[in-house]
Amino acid sequence: MVSFKFFLLLCSCAVLVLSLLDDASEIVESLTGTPRGWTQIGEPAGDQVLVLQVAMDQPLLAEFHQLINNISTPGHPSYGNHLTKREVDVWTQPASEASDEIITWLKSEGVDEDTIKVSGHWITFNVIVSTANALLDTKFRYYRQKDTTVIRTPQYSVPFNLRNMIETIQPTTRFGSPKLQIRLDSDEQPLQISSSTLTTYNETFCNTTVTPACIRGLYQMSEFTPSANDTMLGISGFDGQVYYVDDLNMFISNLNPYLMGSLNITSINGGIANAEFNVNTSAEGNLDVQYAAALTGGTPITYYSTGGQAPIDPDLDQPLAANGTNEPYLNQLQYLIGLDDSMLPGVLSTSYGEDEESVPYNYAVQVCNLFAQLTARGVSIIFSSGDTGVGSACRSNDGRNTLQYSPSFPATCPFVTAVGGTYGINPEIAADFTSGGFSNYFPRPSWQDGTIYEYLVNLGDTNQGYFNVSGRAYPDVSAQSVRYLVWNDGEPDFVWGTSCAAPTFAAIISNLNSIRIKQGLPRLGFLNPWLYGSGNQGFTDITLGASRGCSGVDIYTGQPAGKIENASWAAGSGWDPVSGWGTPNFAQLATMMT
């Protein structure tokens, strides 16, 4: 028989173990080293203020994602029954006890209770560096990349008993910043073309210069006359990018015969609402707004100027303002998710991206899940696929430096529709800079299974070992991306990149929405299940062209990178990783979807 004293000893040991577990910490995220292009330059003062966000676990997430697929699949009984904000909040809420336990931990470690805010599954709080170091068992430092300086840490931990409740805490391990997917053309020759040529579809002219008339003619949208409607189109602006009204007015007066809808700018997290002209901060904004306005006519457009890229100076003895957190995606998405249903755009176009491997996995998943919340409410999320071809860094960042293709995020998120680039007319050819391939973070969704399995079978051993055969494949579709005519600082200019393709495709989807709403039908919302079902029948297959990349030099930092000989994805019959399903035929899509 076990003695009473021995029983008490066992109980004491159990209590001690539980106590030790409560005090123990577990690593949440850990980088293998300082990310490429960044240099550690010093330590912030202990009283420097940080603004941190905790993402809590969402226990109903898998069921929520399945519901989104049902809502977005034509033929399903739930197709088109988009959720309300309140319904999405229920599906995405954290476990009931998580918020209380995490807040109790924060307060016990010295976080000011007055700064703690809870919104959905996010907890935001202010904390000084010295407290943050102790709180997360880490060491925050200054890091610099070119003109950007941030406070970050390569690793952090939380108490063992809270680990399953916490998905990520940011900004911590998130170093990268969104890159523009646009380039100015070096052609500085003055534009001397008749006004009739600029406003009509001429194959010879449109083969080398893209205008709204070229897009309408090439993609069978000439017979569609835009009219005033309530289908809002949203455009994302990061990194200080803005558009200029004077340039827009000159563009419209020269190139577009249709009326223009209302145009608003919304500043998020200190985003720039107006500024003096600077070609480095206007090319993207001008392109996006000029083509969205010209192609959608009377559709209201909202430009979401989101702060979060402002550099900070280690010599400044002042708190780190909220707009220095360098987290534009989170800031923008949390703002949009908080809007009433009537205030959401029907389509959101974004022309930014970065190497997927430069984004911490947990952070990428959180951002992707926020995109999912918007799609559940009927928003079509459109992203440029990127301009690095098969990749730029082309080495794994897990410490092993394995040669591999480098996919682009957020284009790899399954809940966004990624748009690749093309050029030329008769034939239209896949652009060699188009980013595409297979995600290393996100598994292939069920709606891609049949298509991608067939593609991989036909691919055989080509590119074997350089990509994840089980990953989400992208791009989904394509559009023109070379020599778009825009107005910058009162003068015509040419730009190229998949940044051109995203607003073009977004405008086409917005026009389809305007037709559907007039017919009493819901907005298209999340497009991908439809695209990989019957929707691809409304696209022109692109069978010529191939991507390139992995040249041995990182195009963003100029540093040595992985070199893979003959790295490429080729366009071919059906879906492929350089042109997706091809380019849209608006007339056919309008017949199919309205």
Q: DSSP class of residue 24?
A: -
305, 392, 499, 514: the catalytic one is 499
Bridge partners for 267 per DSSP: 305
d(CA 352, CA 238): 8
Catalytic residue flag (residue 97): no
- Which positions ≥6 away from 534 have C-beta within 8 Å? 74, 592
d(CA 279, CA 484): 16
Catalytic residue flag (residue 284): yes
288, 327, 357, 476: the catalytic one is 288
d(CA 183, CA 186): 9
Q: What are the two backbone dihedrals, phi and then psi, of residue 474, each rounded to the nearest 5 degrees?
A: -155, 165
187 is in an annotated binding site: no
381 is in an annotated binding site: no
247, 284, 355, 356: the catalytic one is 284
Catalytic residue flag (residue 3): no
Q: What are the two backbone dihedrals, phi and then psi, of residue 259, each rounded to the nearest 5 degrees?
A: -70, 160
Bridge partners for 117 per DSSP: 124
Helix (H) or strand (E) holding 21: helix 4-23
User: Could you tell me the sign of the dihedral formed by the alpha carbons of 197, 201, 202, 208, in that order?
Assistant: positive
Q: What are the two backbone dihedrals, phi and then psi, of residue 540, each rounded to the nearest 5 degrees?
A: -90, 120
Around 392, how many Cα atoms within 13 Å sit in the side-chain half-sphere?
23
27 is in an annotated binding site: no
Long-range contacts of 9-17 (CB under 8 A, 24+ apart): none
Using a 10 angstrom Cβ sphere, with 0-12 exposed, 13-18 middle and 19 or more buried, the burial of residue 262 is exposed
Work out whether strand 380-384 and strand 179-180 pair parallel, antiparallel, or are unpaired. unpaired
Work out whether strand 551-553 and strand 263-268 pair parallel, antiparallel, or are unpaired. unpaired
554 is in an annotated binding site: no
Q: Which residues are annotated as a binding site for Ca(2+)?
A: 541-542, 574, 576
Q: List residues with catalytic annotation.
A: 284, 288, 499
